[in-house]
Amino acid sequence: MKILGRHLIAELSDCPSEVLNDSAILEEVMKEAARISGATVVDSTFHRYSPQGLSGIVVIAESHISVHTWPEYGYAAIDCFTCGTSVDPWKALEYLKSALKSRSMAVSEIKRGIPSEMDEVIAHKTYMNAEPVSFDR
């Protein structure tokens, strides 16, 4: 695969329900997770369900971090999709595990990109037919 990004899918459980049901706290925690990972926050939106639960997304210049909560089960589903090599989605997840007071976290990592016979990280193009941008640190 010609890898453009990483997508971490996390299951956080044993979280206090009050944390998972407070949209103001959850939005700030998600934005801070993005900053800690090295991402650039572009925008965010959160929706509260009745009688409980939240869905939210923090759009980052490098893709997105989203959350869906089930306070009645102490559960949060989190996606961290980041492109490039300058952002570390694992840092975001470790922060979220701590901030949401989760006692258990399971994570799957998926490489996202263009199917090919061998794995290689490729750079984003700034515009059609432009030269790739280097991600060397």
- 68 catalytic per annotation: yes
The verdict on whether omega for the bond into residue 132 sits within 30 degrees of 0, i.e. cis, is no
Does 47 qualify as catalytic in the annotation?
no
Q: Which residues contact 51 (CB under 8 A, 6 or more apart)?
A: none
Catalytic residue among 15, 44, 64, 83: 83
Name the phi and psi angles at 29, rounded to 5. Answer: -60, -45
Which residue in 7, 13, 23, 68 is the catalytic one? 68
Active site annotation includes 83: yes
- Of the candidates 37, 44, 63, 102, the residue annotated as catalytic is 63
Would you put residue 74 in left (φ > 0), alpha (ψ -120 to 50) or beta? left
How deeply is 129 buried, as exposed, middle or buried, from its count of CB atoms within 10 A (0-12, 13-18, 19+)?
Answer: exposed
Q: Which residues are catalytic?
A: 63, 68, 83
